[in-house]
A and B are shown apart, each in its own frame.
Chain A
Amino acid sequence: MTTNVKKEKTIKWGEEPKIGWVEAMYLPAVLSGVATAVRHAFSGKPMTRQYPEVEPEIPANYRGVHRLNRDEEGRVKCVACYMCQTACPANCIEIIAAPAPKDDPHWQNRDKYPATFTIDELRCIYCGMCEEACPVDAIELTSIYDLTGLSREEMIFDKEKLLSVFDETIQSGKDPVRTNRGVLGPASEEASTAKQGPPPPGRGRHG
């Protein structure tokens, strides 16, 4: 009946499945449906996670709450270079740099350090760009996913809070230091395995 109408070749006609007498009786289909339901009911393998009691396994490259790493001497690793603040697309990092106290032997080999380092955890979009921008691997994202607070003020993390996050996560052993100097984190695994070296200028992440 379609011979007199020009048929376009790009159109594919789907055919309705033919229903045989077995299907038309409904009953086999009903029984197989019930069988599926019963099989699942007695499988005894629920997919439910009993969340507060059993915590989920977080992948290694999960991007949770930030922390500020300490170096071997316990000082804050950050050199106050503003790279993370510049890279941050949400403008949630605020750093005020200060010259390192020269007369203190503790700070002898350092020029600058952050006098304040504030991250607004509510403003952050957890993209991980600060982690990748950091030249000294001082800022890292941890696997803490259940951050809550009762006020906006307490969700603004200052330097001490961020360092305490480091202490906690290192102690619990859940989050080892992810990055090493000169090697990118697991989030950019592809780039590091390909061993392409640094990206050419002008094609950088923010170029």
Chain B
Amino acid sequence: MSHHSEAAVGGRYKRALLWVEDHLRWILTLPALAVLAAFFVYPVGRALVLSLYQFDAAGQQFVGLGNYVAILTAGAFWQSLWITAKFMFFAVSLEVGLGIAIAFVLNSQVRFRGLVQTIGLVPLVISPTVVALLWQLLYQNGGVLDSLVAPLTNGPVPWLSDPSIALYALVLPDVWQMTPLVTLIVLAGLQSVPDHVQEAAMMDGAGRMRRLVDVTLPYIKELVVLVLILRVIGTMRVFAKVFVLTRGGPARSTEVISMAMYREAFSYGNYGRASTMALILLLIALAITYAFATVSEVEF
């Protein structure tokens, strides 16, 4: 190769390297963007396309917004949404309330705090299906829970077979499993409250309640809103516990939206309708997240 050719090649190589250097931050972001595209953008896009089709034994037919109209005018969809909302309300209230209370307790000088925190995390690392199977044993006729409430009842409680209590019976395993998550996040926030700010407030004569409201809560406000959003979205998606424990019964009293979606997709093979329900659920989740963030004046 001539001297001029070598110089030309060397120059191109250098220019390429310089270009990479100048755009390095974008290039290094590409893997994360690829993951985001693969696990969010593509699935949502694919769901959107599927939602425009009806699937049946004959194949798939383009129906446009037909699936959306069918679902939004179906009483069963709103019934499932209402049941999901009830589950969400009770589960989130208990998880966030208990989680914050436990976090405050752990934030004070508690003996064996580390051990308690570690043990408290165990439910969080168990898969939801296993949690459901465990609670299925607890709910057994004459089982542990029946023994615990025996002084208050006239015999075994039909935890999962009475339509008036089955939904609340599903709330308990979710609270058991997810309260540690709330505790973990809120505790982290509490431990980040600077001591000198608390001390300054004390020196200014602020009592316990005033310090809680004016010092501590502002510090953990974003985290509380975050856990509320996480748990609201998490409870909207509840599936494994319902599938294992009740399958949406008895008498449809626990037919949450995810059970309905599962049936459409994997029992009836109607991926179009299932995708439509998933997208509607996504919009509801986004709306709730926006509402929380706006009302609480929190920026993420």
A binds B: no
Residues in B lying within 8 Å of A, measured CB to CB: none
